[in-house]
Structure 1
Amino acid sequence: MTDTPARLLKLLSLLQTPREWPGGELAGRLEVSPRTIRRDIDRLRDLGYPVEATRGSIGGYRLVAGTAMPPLLLDDEEAVAIAVGLRAGAGHAIEGVDEASVRALAKLEQVLPSRLRHRVSSLQNATVPLTRGDGATIDPRTLTAIASAVTARERLRFAYRAGDGAATKRQTEPYRLVSTGSRWYLVAYDLDREDWRTFRVDRVSEPFATGARFTPRELPVESEDAAELLSRSMSRAQPELSVDVTFAAPAGFVAARLPAEFGAPEPAGEHGCRLRTRTRSSLEWVALRLALVDCAFEVHGPPELVEHLGVLGARLSRAASPAPEWAGHE
């Protein structure tokens, strides 16, 4: 193989397999001399790839962990697997999957050949995820389109559906994507309203990067970053709830079934625990998450949550024991 760039890529692909490669085997694979392999190894090291050499009668090379992340080469199967995994995580705002993972997905999908992009979409469309929470899922293409516009600093147009169902068209300067663990939000400057706004990404559709570049504006003085601006926006939109609940289950069992934003419950009694937390989430969402813990519980406050659970419980009881007049209806 006389084409040096192509040979380096092939050599790098071999070294990224987790094993040690004897120099003679690498030379045979690439149809070059051992001396050429040694020169190519030095070139890879100059590019930042930490290739370690072992001494001995045979000698060998392997790629090890370094101080920085060098570029990776992925084969077709690896690229598809990573894209599907990132899509699944990003699309459901799983806790711990933040803006960096969305940027990675946007970069990967930008360079995927059409045949692999089709495979990723086919796998995505053929599977149904088991989700928890309020089911606010997101089309990964929407998320990556927004992330790309944020990174490229391009103005973004999209359709938006408000909480009351009102539909509007928005033209924005996208600033950051923020994940709360249960939802994704876009923090952006709304050009028509001439002010900062936050948008739930699951309510965004038809995102379109216009190609018009912009210089990011300064955030309002009371907000240090996008997360704080979102927090202040949510505080104004939703009153804070002081939730106090006792569960008839160990603290570890309960903590594993509640959002991390609720905090950790404290042991109470021999087999129970108690959770005291503050949240800006809606009554409906809090009630649903408590019910999903799958154990008996008692809500001590706030009163509006107790009342909502009573109404919800009565509705569920009626659903489980329908009135006679419902019998026979399709």
Structure 2
Amino acid sequence: MFILKPTNIPLGLILVLCGISFLAGRYVQQAGELPEPTTAAGSRRKLALQINEETAKAPRIHPIVTASDAPAYKPTVIDPLDTARLEEFMIVKSGLLAARPPLPPAQSGDSFYHAIPFQILSWAPRIVVYPAFIDKARCDHIIALANKMLFPSGLAFAPGEKVDQEQQTRTSKGTFLSEQTDGDGVLAWVEERIAAVTLLPRENGEAFNVLKYENMQHYDSHMDSFDPKTFGPQPSQRIATVLVYLSDVAEGGETVFKKEGLDGGNRVITDWRNCDDGSYKYKPRLGDAVLFWGVYPDGEIDPRSLHGGCPVKNGTKWVMTKWLRSKGGRPAWAQ
């Protein structure tokens, strides 16, 4: 027998021959497994069916989800008008609590953050809107309380001025509510929230005046502050007003500021009811609160704070007014 010694063949040639032998064997094996071709199209179709059948029998490492068996997508959405969840989103989910936890408060301070977004609508007069200041559930609760005891809204008359029972300056219906009339604590919660944004003690506020405006009811432009020249000396002046809107209004019902603007203080007003003269108007949105200041920081009355309630043209307007005074009853901590 003739034996070929390895030393007679170069090592490189051996490796090349082994590679060719391996590839030839793989080709023969795969060719035997393929279906017999009939036509080119038929061959491709049979091969596709075979691959699909084998794929279906094979165990799935990653399950294939189709549109028919996929669960419905339910995203986690934070209602931007939900007061409590809004605060959670702004403070907790923003990471603010972790990065800047609340500081130890002073004796009369709060141990938590307030998350009350605001937009400055005007500097002349100072008008600020707090979107989603109160949630719909609390709005509905306050409306239900007030709806039981509505009466025609009145006016504040100057000393010696004749009281006009048939006046058409203010045609809404309303009532006065305080936290003592609400056993559920909703109005107390609103009181605390107003105190937080104004930094005025709760004792400086008058009772809530809840008002209902229906078709074409309105409140002609007026001042909330009392001019001492007309009403006499004021031991406690109305310095600011907070309007909490308890409903949307389909059309009309805006709060108008007819003297708004840097040059508005001396603007001559001839029509106190007209809201279509280009004056600045706020359109009611359920849950919003609008704060405007009736006086300058030095206590002098700001004539630009003249405002009114435009006629409601479609729908019903519910709004809650909180008048804030320069002086109030002493808070408990001031005793």
TM-score by length of 2: 0.19
Higher strand proportion (structure 1 or 2)? 1
Instruction: Report 1 or 2 for greater relative contact order, CA contacts < 8 Å, sequence distance ≥ 6.
Output: 2
TM-score by length of 1: 0.19
Pair member with larger Rg: 2
